[in-house]
Amino acid sequence: MKIKAFSKTYNGVRVLDFPGMELQPGKIYAVIGANGSGKSTFARILAGVIQADQQGYHPHPGSVLYMPQKSYAFRMSTQANILMGSREYKKANKLMEDLQISHLALRRADKLSGGETARMALARLMMRPCELAILDEPTAAMDMESTLLAEKLITDYVPRANCALILVTHSLQQARRIADYALFFQKGALVESGPAQTVLHVPAASETKAFLDFFGS
Ligand SMILES: Nc1ncnc2c1ncn2[C@@H]1O[C@H](COP(=O)(O)OP(=O)(O)OP(=O)(O)O)[C@@H](O)[C@H]1O
Ligand SMILES: [Mg+2]
């Protein structure tokens, strides 16, 4: 799947310049970089939530799933939020079990805690088939146990759904645990991308190395 080059400018300031890349189905792509480096802007443009500078830019014609940095809960039960009109109760129940939110099934989803909401949103996303999934810091609000459950679910889902998954994360440990490839952004530029084993362990660019040295251990 080819993602074409695009840029994003706010008030005359270029906040992102993406050169384009090829994504393989069934693989996890970690996006790392400091606050404000353009990760969420990248995610939003791929998700079609905001427009790139290039008029009529379309990231991908197929099905694209998106979990924003702040997950949304509709004013109905957790189970109804996950089902979203689907009748696949078994699938929804299994996802709730896997994420340990079964006890919240009938609770109003807009009253859940941050970490519970994120788990609900992840289950909602995984109900659906997709070609491209974009998760913007899905585990930022989760505790360690939930994070590991979510990572397990993501690594099971991606090859099964044969979906290319973009995972924006602040956790290098998470990226090292589950990513196949990694992209390092700095000040809106894609500094380095490639196999996770290289980018997250023995990067080529001095900027990536400095980032890992600072945040890495
Ligand atoms: N709607 C907007 N209007 C103006 N500037 C924006 C807007 N959205 C993002 N920016 C700016 O674009 C830059 C990139 O923001 P973005 O949210 O993509 O960063 P990020 O890498 O996701 O950061 P974080 O790690 O904090 O989530 C930042 O400097 C931000 O202030
Ligand atoms: Mg962000």
pLDDT one-digit tens code per residue, 55-86: 888 887 788 999 999 999 999 999 999 999 99
Strand (E) or helix (H) holding 172: helix 172-178
Q: Which of 127, 29, 110, 37 is closest to 71 using CA atoms?
A: 110
* Distance of alpha carbon 215 from alpha carbon 217, whole angstroms: 6
Question: Considering every ligand atom, which ligand is closest to the CA of 170?
Answer: 1
- Of all atoms in ligand 1, which is nearest to the CA of residue 41? 18
Contact criterion met (CB below 8 Å) for 153 and 98:
yes
At residue 217 the predicted structure's pLDDT band, cuts being 50, 70 and 90, is low
Instruction: Select from 8, 18, 37 the residue to mutate for testing ligand 1; criterion: most ligand atoms less than 8 Å from CB.
Output: 37
Q: Determine the distance separating the centroid of ligand 2 and the alpha carbon of 11, expressed in angstroms.
A: 19
Q: Determine the distance separating the centroid of ligand 1 and the alpha carbon of 168, expressed in angstroms.
A: 13
State percent of the chain over pLDDT 90: 91
Burial label for 35, CB within 10 Å (0-12, 13-18, 19+), is exposed
Instruction: Select from 15, 37, 171, 215 the residue to mutate for testing ligand 1; criterion: most ligand atoms less than 8 Å from CB.
Output: 15
CATH assignment of the domain containing 186 = 3.40.50.300
Residues with CB under 6 A from ligand 1: 10, 15, 33, 35-41
Q: Determine the distance separating the centroid of ligand 2 and the alpha carbon of 189, expressed in angstroms.
A: 15
Question: What's the domain count of the chain?
Answer: 1
Rounded to 10 deg, the angle between the 89-98 and 114-126 helix axes is 140
**In the predicted model, what is the mean pLDDT of the chain?**
95
Structural domain range at position 117: 2-215
* Distance of alpha carbon 168 from alpha carbon 75, whole angstroms: 27
Mean pLDDT of 155-159: 96
* Distance of alpha carbon 182 from alpha carbon 29, whole angstroms: 5
pTM for this model (two decimals): 0.95
Mean pLDDT of 129-154: 96
* Distance of alpha carbon 73 from alpha carbon 88, whole angstroms: 19
- Of all atoms in ligand 1, which is nearest to the CA of residue 188? 14
Instruction: Select from 7, 8, 10 the residue to mutate for testing ligand 1; criterion: most ligand atoms less than 8 Å from CB.
Output: 10
